[in-house]
């Protein structure tokens, strides 16, 4: 989750396992007050979420923001569709990038930047099973190398 300046509240680690992230963008998100308070407490989840573009607007589906415990009647549906805020040119660029074969738009992280909640949007291409195996093997090799270096420095 490089390139994020601010406090990361929620990350989508599954996206990095299932997709190659080609390009990233920053977007604002339209929320209600109790949702912002819930996000500040870290009660949100990006797993199995994705983005769609309808009528020139960008929406996040599957983003789960737990109800704020002190919010009573002001709480919203945790899985409601949330509108993302970007310039029209950026949305058109995302639309053209996502229409390529095998590409999709995925929210990669929710973070706070100067008091505002932001979403890192990724243009991602799905990994095949053999790509996932290779990534796991590479991580294991890196872990082994780090272990050997640590043991050698004693």
**Domain spans of the chain?**
7-127
Exposed, middle or buried: residue 118 (CB in 10 Å: 0-12, 13-18, 19+)? buried
- This prediction's pTM: 0.75
Q: Would you say 17 and 113 are in contact if contact means Cβ atoms under 8 Å apart? A: no
pLDDT exceeds cutoff 80 at 68: no
**Residue 74 — pLDDT band, cuts 50, 70, 90?**
low
Give me 20's structure tokens: 């190659």
φ/ψ of residue 71, rounded to 5? -90, -10
| Homologous superfamily assigned to 7-127 | Small protein B (2.40.280.10)
Look at 24 and 32; give whichever has higher pLDDT: 24
pLDDT of residue 87: 92
């Amino acid at each position: 989750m490089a390139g994020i300046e601010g406090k990361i509240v929620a990350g989508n680690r599954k996206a990095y396992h299932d997709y190659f992230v080609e390009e990233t963008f920053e977007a604002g998100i339209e929320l209600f007050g109790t949702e912002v308070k819930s996000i500040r407490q870290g009660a949100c989840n990006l797993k199995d979420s994705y983005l769609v573009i309808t009528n020139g607007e960008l929406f996040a589906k599957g983003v789960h923001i737990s109800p704020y415990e002190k919010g009573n009647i002001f709480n919203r549906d945790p899985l409601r569709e949330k509108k993302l805020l970007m310039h029209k040119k950026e949305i058109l660029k995302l639309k053209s990038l996502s229409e390529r074969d095998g590409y999709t738009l995925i929210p990669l992280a929710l973070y706070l930047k100067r008091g505002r909640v932001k979403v890192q949007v990724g243009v991602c291409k799905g990994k095949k099973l053999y790509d996932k195996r290779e990534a796991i093997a590479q991580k294991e090799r890196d872990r082994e190398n780090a272990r050997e270096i640590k043991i050698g420095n004693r």
